[in-house]
Chains A and B, each alone.
Chain A
Amino acid sequence: MNFPILSSLILLPTIGALFILFTKSSSGKYQSSKYVALFISLANFLLSLYLWYVFDKNLVDFQFVENREWLSGFINYKVGIDGISILFIILTTFITPICIISVNATITNKLKDFLIAILIMETFMIGVFCSLDLVVFYLFFEAGLIPMFLIIGIWGGERRVYSAFKFFLYTLLGSVLMLVAIISIYWITGTTDVEKLYELGIKAEYQNLLWLAFFSSFAVKTPMWPVHTWLPDAHVEAPTVGSVLLAAILLKMAGYGFIRFSLGLFPIASENFTMLVYILSLIAIIYTSLVALMQEDMKKLIAYSSVAHMGFVTLGIFTMTQQGIEGSIFQMISHGLVSAALFLSVGVVYERHHTRLINKYGGLVSIMPRYAIVFMVFTLGALGLPGTTGFIGEFLILMGAFEKNILVAMIASLGVILGAAYMLWLFKRVVFGEMNNQELKSMKDLKTFEIITLSALVIPILFFGFYPEPLMNSIEASVENTLNMYNLDLINNLASKD
């Protein structure tokens, strides 16, 4: 057995959190804890980049697999990655240091605790993306609720308690059914090991119910219409960094889960329920885009746009085409970067002006030119302009959708237009226009750490927008393998019926 690199990735942030626990919390600025956190998260980022470097993109099997006895012999602690999970891991380790750098702006009290919560959160998020056992996956998936609940509840806005409760209970309610399904799978097949389950397959008669149980959990987490209502509340009340984590990574757990588990374990049921997912995704895309148009709160607008973007993702996954799934993964990564950036941008003006209402702003371009530039890049990224990552994801998803169902694809395309409408309108109202509010004049342009974090996000958005090859390379083999298995299962099922 080689060096357990995945476990190190998972554990490193927790170890960092323990360190922070023992750093001196002198009154005033708790700088030492922040540097520890930053150091740990950067180390983790470098480790994940190294992992990407040594990762063999042409292999379809899971790599770096660690398998240890854990739960009295019948459930193992098993982690491993393929081309899909590695991207999400890098996204997580990339976003976390950015969150830690931007902590300055928003968090005034209990900085130490906040950093600990973020690092623990990172552990759980990485754990979700590399677990290869359903129980281990569930453990990480659910455990993330605790730090996120605290992040929203302790450091959130005025209605933070309501939002934190809503977030927690919604997600918990969705997930308990998944637990029933996981245990059922154990008794049906005798294992919860994902790799073994891929080989064994699950009998067609069980698949529909199990799929629905998993769906209930993932749909809440995605979030899909009509169980998306926790998201705007959570986003609005969470501190900026909390929103960033929520939008950039937490929402991706569900999309990842759809690909890894719904498609991988229940292909027949996935095929049966495709139409349901299409319809829900389309409603999400159109309806939430319209809702986003009407929002007066910037964060709420971005939150609704997240729902719409995740609608594209679920749509793409369930087209069951190479383009659709690759597009969905790409869209998730892109949305991770763009929404994180947008929330940070909102955080920038919120910190200066202490309001998120759009009509309180206007004409920022004249006093904050740098801010106007980066905000524009992110806006364009969000509406999917060619040359940004947003375009590639949506384009591929729509390509996949056209192949399967032209009507669905046409309706989804409308979402792109609506997306452009609300994002550009937001940009126009905040950055352009006349500066009616005299108080705005005192606002300063970006500080150094804001330039660092925001440009760290601009670069990948533009780079991968022009040159998506590295990401595509990484996922291609795995997606192809997933689809092959999927189609094979369907064919076998048809054959067994005849």
Chain B
Amino acid sequence: MENFQYILPEIFISGSIMLFLLVGVFKKNSASLIYNLSNISLVILLALIINLSSLDTIYLFNKSYLIDNLSNYMKIILVGSGIFVMLTGSKYIQVINLNKIEYPILILSSILGMMIMISSNDLIVFYMGLELQSLALYVLASFNRDNLLSTESGLKYFVLSALSSGLLLYGCSLTYGFSESTNFDQILINSTEFNYGTTFGIVFILVGLAFKISAVPFHMWAPDVYQGSPTSVTLFFAILPKIAALSVFIKFLYTPFANMNDQWQTIIVFISIASMIFGAVAAIGQKNLKRLIAYSSISHMGYALAGLATVSNQGIQSSITYISIYLVMNLAFFSCLFMLKRNDKYYENIEDLSGLSKKHPILSFSLLIVLFSLAGIPPLAGFFAKFYVFLAVIEQSMYFLAIVGLLATVVAAFYYLRIIKIIYFDPEKEEYETSHNLGLKITLAISTIFILAYFIYPSGITEIVSKITMI
């Protein structure tokens, strides 16, 4: 019982979820109220987590729950981006009539699930967290019930995700069967000898996780779900589950399976290369911006995984840095997307950006910065993200991975440039509305300035991340 103070954030957020549910049931038309309250509770949650972050490693509940620097950092960026996701999407869900009480509550529950995933130190706890976040996400994806694409995306996500969860569970049971424990640390101790059971366990677990992170060849759901879901949910999909899944990746690879890196390293390298290349090539032909960003996020996950494939501290840190910068770039990109509004209709095709620079110079400039940053052109933040990853990759002399990855950036640069071309070189279209809510403007301003000015003090994130040591 004395340990409850350490999981205060999780308890707090569970409490808020239940409270908001009750408020929603008893108070009519309380959707906006709950939305705002959820946002406030996320801010409090962030404060609670930051409050814990000075602590050292703490094991809870018979070592099934772990709070350390890594999990705290991941939770901070998770909840932090959650706040921004809520801020940017508030106007959007009102406009497309999604402002229901369930929406913020589902987001909160999914965040709770992710926090449990991040902190889990036991297969069962991990699976609980995973399913909590997934269930919330299925509903969120199909939240726009009247929209065919949204319903389709929810169903598709559900079916494929259930399949991957099945594989994951199978992997968990194999791992349990051969290592006689569900506890991560215990698995590490028990799995010193090579056996096929654990190897298969690793493979199945990695398949499940690769699905969650939408890495090739388990990416098929991403484009459809990204396109079909309401944009605010797409933004959520693009950032938060990725953070959670990446930190679980790190945890799995470097705690229970740390001894078997010679077996999983090749898998990760393959997934990483495939994602980088596929994401870059497949995005070229896209017409829908959300679909395009889906492919782009596939390739970005490839780079994040490339860091993990190195089996080194430097590599883990580079992956964490990568995802931190990646989430800012995505926030900025989606903020721009939310601004393409005219007469209560949101536009999301690349063609809709045509000649944007003539009437909306500031918005276009932000998009320009974001896109060049996504392409990894110096001196923007995206370059540093890639730079750290390749620094780690080349340290381990994995030249093939490095060269393929860098060549993929050239391919990827093409489709980012294509958007810039449409914004800046093509003839203009109708003007978009220029009045946006404050949260959106602030998010865009902060994220753009972050990307633009990152080079002035690039060691900020790295210094924080370097304190998170795994091996």
Contacts and interface: CB of A to CB of B under 8 A. Distances in A.
Contacts of B394: 180, 183-184, 187
B424 A180 contact: no
Contact of B410 (A73, A160, A173): A173
Which of B378, B424, B455, B462 has most A Cβ within 10 Å? B378
A384 interface: no
Given A164-B421, A180-B394, A142 B406 contact: no
Contact of A168 (B402, B403, B407, B413): B413
B403 A177 contact: yes
B395 A187 contact: yes
A70 B458 contact: yes
Contacts of B459: 69-73
A153 B390 contact: no
B390 A139 contact: no
B409 interface: yes
A172 interface: yes
Interface in A122-163: 135, 138-139, 142-143, 145-146, 149-150, 153-154, 160-161
Which of A138, A165, A183 has most B Cβ within 10 Å? A183
Contacts of A59: none
26 contacts: A71-B462, A72-B458, A113-B361, A135-B387, A138-B378, A139-B455, A142-B377, A142-B378, A142-B383, A143-B379, A150-B424, A154-B425, A160-B425, A161-B425, A164-B425, A168-B413, A169-B417, A172-B410, A173-B407, A176-B406, A180-B390, A180-B394, A180-B399, A180-B403, A180-B406, A184-B399
Contact of A139 (B378, B414, B421, B463): B378
B391 interface: yes
B372 interface: yes
Interface in B47-106: none
Contacts of A150: 424
A186 interface: yes
Contacts of A164: 417, 421, 425
A367 interface: no
Interface string A85-114: 000000000000000000000000000010
4 closest A-B pairs by beta carbon, nearest first, are A72-B459, A176-B406, A139-B378, A183-B394
Nearest to A173: B410
A463 B183 CA distance: 80
A72 B390 contact: no
B372 A161 contact: no
Interface string B417-436: 10011001100000000000
Contact of A153 (B395, B414, B424): B424
Contacts of B417: 149, 164-165, 168-169
Interface of A: 69-73, 113, 135, 138-139, 142-143, 145-146, 149-150, 153-154, 160-161, 164-165, 168-169, 172-173, 176-177, 179-180, 183-184, 186-187
Nearest to B421: A161
A178 to B, nearest CB: 10
Given A146-B372, A186-B391, A176 B410 contact: yes
Contacts of A165: 414, 417, 421
B285 to A, nearest CB: 16
Contacts of A173: 407, 410
Contacts of A142: 377-378, 383
Q: Helix, strand, loop or mixed for chain B's interface? A: helix
B466 interface: yes
Nearest to B455: A139
Contacts of A139: 378-379, 383, 455
A168 B415 CA distance: 12
A172 B413 contact: yes
Nearest to A127: B379
Contacts of A177: 403, 406
A72 B463 contact: yes
Contacts of A161: 421, 425
A179 B410 contact: no
B377 A179 contact: no
B408 to A, nearest CB: 9
Given A149-B417, A180-B394, 20 more contacts: A71-B462, A72-B458, A72-B463, A113-B361, A139-B455, A143-B378, A143-B379, A146-B377, A154-B424, A164-B421, A164-B425, A172-B409, A172-B413, A179-B387, A180-B390, A180-B403, A180-B406, A183-B402, A184-B394, A184-B399
Nearest to A109: B358
Contacts of B466: 72
B326 to A, nearest CB: 19
A257 to B, nearest CB: 16
Contacts of B402: 180, 183
A241 B292 CA distance: 35
Given A72-B462, A72-B463, A153-B421, A169 B410 contact: yes
Nearest to B394: A183
A138 B395 CA distance: 19
Interface in B329-365: 361
Interface in B87-130: none
Contact of B407 (A146, A176, A183, A186): A176
Given A161-B421, A187-B395, A176 B463 contact: no
A349 B390 CA distance: 49
A193 B167 CA distance: 49
B410 to A, nearest CB: 5
Contacts of A186: 391
A169 B378 contact: no
B414 A169 contact: yes
A367 to B, nearest CB: 36
Contacts of A145: 377
A263 B224 CA distance: 52
A179 B414 contact: no
Contacts of B424: 150, 153-154
B406 A179 contact: yes
A179 B406 CA distance: 9
Contacts of B425: 153-154, 160-161, 164
A173 B375 CA distance: 13
A176 B404 CA distance: 10
A436 B92 CA distance: 65
Nearest to A141: B378
B421 to A, nearest CB: 6
Contacts of B378: 138-139, 142-143
B421 A169 contact: no
B358 to A, nearest CB: 9
A180 B391 CA distance: 9
B458 A169 contact: no
Nearest to B403: A180
Which of A69, A154, A172 has most B Cβ within 10 Å? A172
Nearest to A209: B399
Contacts of A172: 377, 409-410, 413
A169 B407 CA distance: 11
